[in-house]
Amino acid sequence: MEFRDIFLKQKEAIRKRSLEVFALVKPEHLPFKPEAGAIALGEMLQHMWRSEEGTRKVALEDDFAYYEVRVPQGLFPTLGPLQTLDENLRNLERVHEETLAAVAAYPAQRFEEERVREELKFRRKVYTILLAINEHEIHHRAQLMTYLRILGTPVSEAARR
């Protein structure tokens, strides 16, 4: 099995579990943050899809526009205007589908290419960048589950895997 197939299967499995968590989020949860200075739940949803989109562009298009803001300025300047729950859920799905299609169409021999921006201290192979997309979603799914538990929303056993 080649990298593309492994990545796509893993991404689909991760998203299936994430959808179970996303379904528990209510509009009134969006402003919640566990402490001052933390990212709000709604900001986290928005960050998830914006980061995936920007990271995919680094990997597959050698387009560092997202990282050129994210690395020097931090997370908040990358969010853009805050969106509603429905808008964020639609964008999470749109970006997920775009990533699946782009990776499926990407030539297998190019996954070993390096993406380099010395000024950002960034040097990684395409396949490593793509795997980071999956790891990032898992990280924020766990964070969302923690926020939801604090808010009193039980999280299903299936979503915990």
Listed residue (89, 130, 97) closest to 113, CA to CA: 130
Tens digits of per-residue pLDDT, 83-132?
Answer: 999 999 999 999 999 999 999 999 999 999 999 999 999 999 999 999 99
Catalogue all structural domains in the chain, each as residue range(s) with its CATH number. Answer: 3-160 (1.20.120.450)
Strand partners, 117: 122
Q: What is the pLDDT of residue 120?
A: 94
The DSSP symbol for 76 reads G
* Torsion over CA: 73, 76, 79, 81 (sign): negative
Amino acid identity for residue 112 in this structure: E
Yes or no: say if 7 and 131 are a contact pair by the CB < 8 Å rule.
yes
Please state, in angstroms and rounded to a whole number, the distance separating the CA atoms of residues 102 and 59: 10
Share of the chain above pLDDT 70, in %: 96
Kindly report the average pLDDT of the chain as a whole number.
95
Higher-pLDDT residue of 39 and 156 is 39
Is the pLDDT reported for residue 80 higher than 80?
yes
Q: What angle do CA 122, 69, 93 make, to 5 degrees?
A: 95
* Distance, first Cα to last Cα, the chain: 24
